[in-house]
Amino acid sequence: SFFSEVKTHSIDVFELFMRFHRDTHENKLNLAIGVAYRDDSGLPWTLPVVRTAEQTVAEDENLDNEYLPVLGLEEFTTAATRWLLGSDSIAVVEKRAFGVQSISGANALRLGAEFLSQVLGKTVFYYSNPTWRSHELLFKNGGMAEARQYRYWSEKTKNLDFDGLLEDLESAPRGSVVILHACAQNPTGCDPTEDQWRRIAGVMREKGLFPFFDTALQGFASGDLVRDAFAVRLFERMGFELFCAQSFSKNLGLYNERVGNLVVVLNDPKLVDPVKSQFTLIVRGMYSNPPSHGARIASYILNNTNLYDKWQDNVLTMFTRMKEMRGSLRGALEQLGAPGDWSLITRQVGMACDTGLTESQCEVLIERHHIYVLKSGRFNICAVTSANVDLIAKAIYDVFTS
């Protein structure tokens, strides 16, 4: 066959998923559950504000299915950019910030990487250790050949390794691209404080490093959509040029609609047209132009104060449930007397939840209790419900004490 040289590439998340499907135990539980939010019944949740916006889109007879412009639906990209940076942002006011619609956050990262490598000849990029598993792949496939890590998490202190992080950034070559999680770092759920962000920005300015933010969980760190934009806004207010990959998968629950935007901030409005023209070329060579349905929904919400307020309420609902489950799980583990400091669970933000289980303990959790977690010992807090929290805590307790 033409394909006879092709080897199977194994991906642990998919293997775990297949194993879960094959398990016939009636109380099996998948805590690695992809990346999606679940309600307290363990079911996917369509945000009520999204339902409202979808109805409006469905009933709008002026809409058609013509191609969108290559760089996307302008009312969406403009609103998303303004929402991220704030309408008082100088870059917005001076018209030197714009957005490129993308196939959600993953593709916003890829578009940015393509631009940096193809147009600017950049090769070196830094990502946090640990980070979301796709960063390296997206940037390498985007033409940036030299992947390097900066320290982020200390297993010893179960906290940010701030000194390590600064040291690694300080020794990065000028012009390197640094991927920064804007909030709710995936997978540690641990963000720098506002003061630490200022120091990171200071080092990056001094060393001439380019910030490439990734904001996939805006609203999930503090429950407040705007507060979670702190880091990006800080860099923008300090006069940085930057990219920021925005995803609306999680905060709008629009996972399969692939709604994203690459925010571009330049320091000179005269550069907007040339930069846009290069992005146009990149998009044409990749998928020609983006899809419209999800972007229309997001655009309705971002451009309507009433709907926007409802969105903030819906985000708070998700945030509050995740926070409550963190409290319940920690409480249950402490009540059982499970060994260890469980305060990490309530200190973490976003979706990731750290149990401290080793790889072999995770295996026991799967084999004996039919509870599926990734081998890092981290799982998705959204999969925890009032109905299963005690069961999960007892299983973790058993694994730690037997």
Query: For residue 194, how far is the Cα from the chain centroid?
Result: 19
Q: Which stretch binds ligand PLP (CB under 6 A): 102-110, 146-154, 169-177, 357-365?
A: 102-110
Residues 171-200 that bind ligand PLP (CB under 6 A): 181, 186
For ligand PLP, the binding residue among 104, 117, 128, 314 (CB under 6 A) is 104
Taking the complex as a whole, the smallest distance from the CB of residue 147 to ligand PLP amounts, in Å, to 16
Spatial distance between the Cα atoms of 306 and 301, rounded to a whole number of angstroms: 8
| Cα angle 118, 121, 127; round to 5 | 95
Residues 165, 150: contact at Cβ < 8 Å?
yes
- 247 lies in the site for ligand PLP, by CB under 6 A: yes
Q: Which is nearer to ligand PLP, 353 or 393 (CB)?
A: 353
Nearest alpha carbon to residue 272 among 122, 115, 98? 98
The reply to whether omega before 130 is within 30° of 0 (cis) is yes
For residue 215, the surrounding DSSP H or E stretch is strand 210-215
Q: Which is nearer to ligand PLP, 142 or 393 (CB)?
A: 142
Spatial distance between the Cα atoms of 104 and 26, rounded to a whole number of angstroms: 35
For ligand PLP, the binding residue among 17, 23, 28, 35 (CB under 6 A) is 35
Give me the catalytic one of 214, 228, 311, 354: 214
The reply to whether omega before 69 is within 30° of 0 (cis) is no
- 101 lies in the site for ligand PLP, by CB under 6 A: no
Q: Which stretch binds ligand PLP (CB under 6 A): 76-84, 100-108, 228-236, 352-360?
A: 100-108
Q: Which stretch binds ligand PLP (CB under 6 A): 74-82, 99-107, 301-309, 341-349?
A: 99-107
Q: Which is nearer to ligand PLP, 245 or 396 (CB)?
A: 245
Taking the complex as a whole, the smallest distance from the CB of residue 256 to ligand PLP amounts, in Å, to 9
Q: Which is nearer to ligand PLP, 182 or 204 (CB)?
A: 182
Angle between helices 230-237 and 194-207 (to 10 degrees): 40
Spatial distance between the Cα atoms of 261 and 266, rounded to a whole number of angstroms: 16
Residues 292, 299: contact at Cβ < 8 Å?
no
For ligand PLP, the binding residue among 78, 101, 176, 249 (CB under 6 A) is 249
- 216 lies in the site for ligand PLP, by CB under 6 A: yes
| Cα angle 304, 310, 311; round to 5 | 85
What is the set of active-site residues?
132, 214, 250
Give residues in contact with ligand PLP (CB under 6 A). Answer: 35, 104-106, 132, 181, 186, 214, 216, 247, 249, 260
